[in-house]
Structure 1
Amino acid sequence: MNSASPSPSFRTPRGRRLSFLDFGGPGAPVLALHGHFGRARSYAPLAAALAPRHRLIALDQRGHGLSEGGGPFSADEYAADAAALIEELGIAPLPVVGHSMGGLVAYALAAARPELVRALVIEDMGAVNQPPEVAHPVLDVSDWPVRADSREALGEAIAARGIPDPAYFLDSAEPDGDGWRLLFDPADMMESQRATTGDHWPRWLASSCPALLLHGEHSFMLSAAHAHEMTARRPGVKLLQFPDCGHWLHDDAPEDYARAVASYLNNL
């Protein structure tokens, strides 16, 4: 499948410049929201798998990718950004796909603006993001480098901070003059992680649209027991578990992930 990304588009809803990728096509629109440290282009393989039946639009959330940085970084602020983009593009109501923090933003958006959200696909994000459910909800990136002489050197510097495989973070690195830099600011990411830590049951339970919850067997963010509780407490939720996968289902089992999302959206 072709997983190339289109050129970024920009809008300034709510006074903040936001970047997004519109993969185009004749299909019904779907909004995709990445997790912490991510960016919109990670959804290129899913966009290819959904086409032509669905037109994927992936947002670089505030402080990520090519979007403007700076807080506040609460789930409600992230959701308000997504709502403003949906309204500006005139694509409501539509399904919203979200991974990790993006999943929190997706169901916060459905809670705050139910008229905009037709369905949810939540990839490995719980209704509680704090101990003991999530042992370490904040990854300390406060001393991470923001620039190095090469992509490889930047990866080595991140690995030296205790990250054995920095590939996910390096996807948010780009050439910068004679070196490479991270697109996200570590201070922003620390603020954002802290702001989205907490008990989010009220947001999860506040919406009633259909929802698909995807859970990785070896996830450090979402336990099997919590995934089952989320399914039991909110009507209209389908739970799909991915064996031998961790938190990044779309990387650990990309074909199974894309097939599951496509099947769900095709049958709404």
Structure 2
Amino acid sequence: MENALRTVQANGITLAYRTWGPDQAPDDAPPVVLLHCRGADSTDWDRIAGPLSAARRVYALDLRGHGRSDWPGTYTYESMRDDVLAFLTALGIERTDLVGHSLGGAAAYLLAQQHPECVRRLVLEDVPAPFPLDPPRPPAERPDGDLAFDWAMVLQTDEQRNTPDPVWWEHMGRITMPTLLIGGGATSLIPQDHIAVLADLLLDARLITIDAGHLVHETRPKEFLVAVEAFLGL
């Protein structure tokens, strides 16, 4: 059933995902993989995945610690990167267009650094650049009630966000595929000048701003789709 929740074993855990579009796309039309922001899950892409799937197979994951994927208790950006690689391998996807929002965008650019052969085109939506935060992000307070994500994931990713591995920055030059960066503008929680520095560093990058705040594809989906579809050649 289209858009039904599915699961796959990858990188030692169960990853949940949804999929849209034709089972067999043309050989020159690789699938599109969507990676959500922190605290969301694959349903976050519902309004985006449908239009993208007119000519492409589209996959949206629940990252580890989110939604119906496993909550293994260990949450690093690198483990999420490795999960995505293992997901592609498990499904037999050799090359994909990769779209990542915020946390998902960081996992996407780490994958593009380590395995550029797997990524044809890269879209980074309001993504944090790997700069240490000054001042550092203070410890977060857990909201009351049940959560749709593992609170340990928030604490661990905040720690890495405060002091990212310098290798993340040093390896940005390995990202050679065409890359579209979409900034959310002045009301975003992501420093927009950091995104601009990131765009300047990448070999083949273009930067646009959609004044929507951090949740660009949720707040202004039509404009997001126009930009992404043009970039991916849809």
What do the CA deviations read for 1:168-216 (whole angstroms, capped 9, x no partner)? xxxxxxxxxxxxxx22122332223323443442243332111000001
Per the alignment, in what secondary structure is the counterpart of residue 12 of structure 1? strand
Which of 190, 194, 210 is the matching residue for 1:221? 190
Residues 197, 83 of structure 1: alpha-carbon distance in 2 compared, 3 angstrom cutoff: farther
- Which residue is 1:98 aligned to? 100
Identity of aligned residues (%): 28
1:190 lines up with 2:164 in the alignment: no
- Which residue is 1:66 aligned to? 68
Residues 24, 75 of structure 1: alpha-carbon distance in 2 compared, 3 angstrom cutoff: same
Per the alignment, in what secondary structure is the counterpart of residue 17 of structure 1? strand
List, as ranges, runs of 4+ consecutive aligned residues in structure 1 with deviation greater than 4 Å. 135-139
Which of 219, 224, 230 is the matching residue for 1:257? 224
Which of 193, 203, 209 is the matching residue for 2:177? 209
- Mapping of residues 79-158 of structure 1, within 5 Å: 79-132=81-134, 137=137, 140-142=140-142, 144-147=143-146
Does the aligned pair in 2 maintain the 1:63–1:69 contact within 8 Å? Answer: yes
- Mapping of residues 14-25 of structure 1, within 5 Å: 14-25=11-22
TM-score (ref. length: structure 2) = 0.88
Does the aligned pair in 2 maintain the 1:31–1:97 contact within 8 Å? Answer: yes
* Distance in 2 of aligned mates of 1:234 and 1:252: 27
Which of 39, 58, 62 is the matching residue for 1:37? 39
Residue 21 of structure 1 and its aligned partner are, at CA, apart by: 0.6
- Give the aligned length: 225
* Distance in 2 of aligned mates of 1:204 and 1:139: 28
Residues 253, 129 of structure 1: alpha-carbon distance in 2 compared, 3 angstrom cutoff: farther
Which of 194, 202, 214 is the matching residue for 1:234? 202
1:246 lines up with 2:205 in the alignment: no
Any unmatched runs of 5+ in structure 1? 148-181
- Which residue is 2:8 aligned to? 11
- Over aligned residue pairs, what C-alpha RMSD do you find? 2.1
* Distance in 1 of aligned mates of 2:136 and 2:222: 29
Residues 129, 39 of structure 1: alpha-carbon distance in 2 compared, 3 angstrom cutoff: farther
* Distance in 2 of aligned mates of 1:76 and 1:216: 25
Per the alignment, in what secondary structure is the counterpart of residue 54 of structure 1? coil
Per the alignment, in what secondary structure is the counterpart of residue 128 of structure 1? coil
The structure having more radius of gyration, on CA atoms, is 1
* Distance in 1 of aligned mates of 2:35 and 2:102: 9
* Distance in 2 of aligned mates of 1:195 and 1:10: 28
* Distance in 2 of aligned mates of 1:121 and 1:96: 6
